[in-house]
Amino acid sequence: MNVLPLMVALPLGMGFLIPMVSRKNRRTADVLGNLATLSLLIMSLYLFKIGNQIYFMGGWKPPLGINLVLDGLSAFFLLIVNLVAFIVTLYSVDYMEVYTSKLRYYSLFLLMLAGMNGVVLTGDIFNLFVFLEIAVISAYALVGFGTEAEELEASFKYLVLGTVSSIFILLGIGFLYSLTGTLNLADIGSKISGISAGHAFWFVVILFIFGFGLKAALVPFHAWLPDAHPSAPAPISAVLSGLLIKTLGIYPFLRIFYNIFGFPLLETRFIPQILMFLGGASMLTGALLALVQNDVKRMFAYSSVSNIGYIVIAFSLGTPLGIMAALLHTFVHATSKALLFLTAGSLEYRLETRNIKKMGGLMEKMPITGISGNIGFLSLAGIPPLAGFWSKLFIILALLDAGRLGWAIFTILVSVLTLGYYLRMNRYVFFGPLKKNLQRIKESPVFMTASMLILSLITVFLGVILIPHLRSIVLDPAVRSLINGTKYISMVMGG
């Protein structure tokens, strides 16, 4: 059976079904939501077994119809998305009790998931835009889910900037269509190589860098992220920081720049260098601003800006090692940052504050939250043998391998800054003397702790992805599908 359309259809259908069937009993929504994400996770694991596959919607062949394309890169991103989404829905069972409308929460969450799966799978550029809008509109609504003053403000800010970036992406798509006369990604790729790259083509590239860069929160376009991510409910912050900025920002960059336009073409006009500078700026700005934050979630949000910089720097090298490092860091950051946001949610759930100055000594009162928080910190700070160490090591090795000694030293320095802000946070939150008013704090409810434990185990053992056998299943096909660049075109058009 072909499961590709189900990856989009299942969350979409479930998103509409949940508010209809679970009005009387609120547990139904929990069960259905978790079942949906669990089955998506199982399907995304199953997809590694099938290998490359193309699904023609309605039986229309590539240049005419919309197709869903599964290759190594899509399978890799689907695994990340559905893994984190499942753990997050598990966490929401208890956490979302404090909000009034759980039904709408699950509905919007599954819509966002459908959008993200669609973006990763689709082989049509306008379809990509539509899925991107599905994901991002539900994200606007979820950021303002609590409808408090600050949340609405953050959500509105995100909405205005997000819509402007979407409009520029659509403008770019319009230009591409008028250049090539097709919307199919593979077909665009095969026609763009025949057209001499004129001003219009470079304008499209710049529009995409702006549009997808804003979705990924690269530095000149990052202003919305530190407001939007902390304002959302904790499980949503985990998804926004862990998944949304990668599937809507990094993935289209990788797919369009490597597979469609082809990297050698872009190198003629220093596009990779521009991306590297944006990435470097993100790394430094995010790390410096994270150092001075007193709000737990705001600090994590700035750390996300910094980590997106690592990923962008690594993939704009264009070498196999760089791509591998970027993909590995994408996975590591998705799990570690989701873990950290879930920890922050657990703290907020019990303490009802996010200010680190009001916390202290929580390690003994909330041991599981403390341990999972520390695992997340250590992983992102790059302490061996946790997964974050390996991905940062590979990024630095890739930079050295490409002969960018200055960038490698810069990356190491920013890593030290990262360690600095995590240690500062750790000292205020989990260690130090216990505050008097915190004597009666208890550990979080069972679903929250269970999901945090699962995610910490994954974060600890994510390094095993580098063992040759697993690597040849998970990581290598993704790297290969980018390295081979325009092979993607012949795969879609030929099959």
Partner 1 sequence: MEYILSFVLLMIGLYCVTTKKNIVKIIIGLNIMEYAINLFLILIGYRQGGIAPIRTPDMSLAYFLRYSVDPLPQALVVTSIVIGFGVLALSVSMAIRIYERYGTFDINEIKRLKG
Amino acid identity of residue 194, one-letter, is: G
Q: Pick the closer one to partner 1 by CB: 148 or 267.
A: 148
Q: Pick the closer one to partner 1 by CB: 36 or 183.
A: 183
Q: Which range, of 66-74, 92-100, 154-162, 331-339, touches partner 1 by CB under 8 A?
A: 154-162
Q: Pick the closer one to partner 1 by CB: 258 or 302.
A: 302
For the record, the structure tokens of 30 come out as 């929990």
Q: Rule CB under 8 A: is residue 150 a binding residue for partner 1?
A: yes
Q: Alpha helices, DSSP H only, in 352-430? A: 362-365, 367-381, 387-401, 405-429
Footprint on residues 261-320 left by partner 1 (CB under 8 A): 289, 292-293, 295, 298
- Distance from C-alpha of 336 to C-alpha of 459, rounded to nearest angstrom: 6
Q: Tell me whether the omega of the peptide bond preceding residue 235 falls within 30 degrees of 0, making it cis.
A: no
| Contact yes or no for 304/337 (Cβ under 8 A) | yes
Q: Rule CB under 8 A: is residue 177 a binding residue for partner 1?
A: yes
Give the single-character DSSP code of 438. Answer: G
Q: Pick the closer one to partner 1 by CB: 108 or 276.
A: 108
Q: Rule CB under 8 A: is residue 183 a binding residue for partner 1?
A: yes
Work out the number of other CB atoms within 10 angstroms of the CB of residue 357: 11
Size of the site for partner 1 (CB under 8 A): 36
- Distance from C-alpha of 178 to C-alpha of 180, rounded to nearest angstrom: 6
Three-state secondary-structure class, residue 194 = coil
- Helices 199-216/149-180 angle, 10° precision: 160
Rg (C-alpha) for the chain, rounded Å, is 21
For the record, the structure tokens of 464 come out as 């095993």
Q: Which class for 439: exposed (0-12), middle (13-18), buried (19 or more C-beta within 10 A)?
A: exposed
In this chain, which of 1, 20, 59, 178 binds partner 1, going by CB under 8 A? 178
**Shortest reach from residue 489's CB to partner 1, in Å:** 20
Q: Rule CB under 8 A: is residue 170 a binding residue for partner 1?
A: yes
**Shortest reach from residue 355's CB to partner 1, in Å:** 12
Element spanning 33, H or E: helix 26-50
In this chain, which of 59, 149, 436, 437 binds partner 1, going by CB under 8 A? 149
**Shortest reach from residue 108's CB to partner 1, in Å:** 11
In this chain, which of 153, 401, 443, 476 binds partner 1, going by CB under 8 A? 153
In this chain, which of 21, 160, 409, 457 binds partner 1, going by CB under 8 A? 160
Q: Which class for 214: exposed (0-12), middle (13-18), buried (19 or more C-beta within 10 A)?
A: buried
**Shortest reach from residue 482's CB to partner 1, in Å:** 28
Q: Rule CB under 8 A: is residue 99 a binding residue for partner 1?
A: no
Footprint on residues 221-250 left by partner 1 (CB under 8 A): 226-227, 231
**Shortest reach from residue 22's CB to partner 1, in Å:** 24
- Distance from C-alpha of 43 to C-alpha of 425, rounded to nearest angstrom: 38
Q: Rule CB under 8 A: is residue 154 a binding residue for partner 1?
A: yes
In this chain, which of 137, 209, 225, 244 binds partner 1, going by CB under 8 A? 137
Q: Pick the closer one to partner 1 by CB: 155 or 307.
A: 155
Which letter, b or e, does each residue of 278-299 get, where b requires 16 or more Cβ atoms within 10 Å of its Cβ?
bbbbbbbbbbebbeebebbbbb
Three-state secondary-structure class, residue 14 = helix
Q: Rule CB under 8 A: is residue 453 a binding residue for partner 1?
A: no
Binding site for partner 1 (CB under 8 A): 126, 130, 133, 137, 140-141, 144, 147-150, 152-157, 159-160, 163-164, 167, 170-171, 174, 177-178, 183, 226-227, 231, 289, 292-293, 295, 298
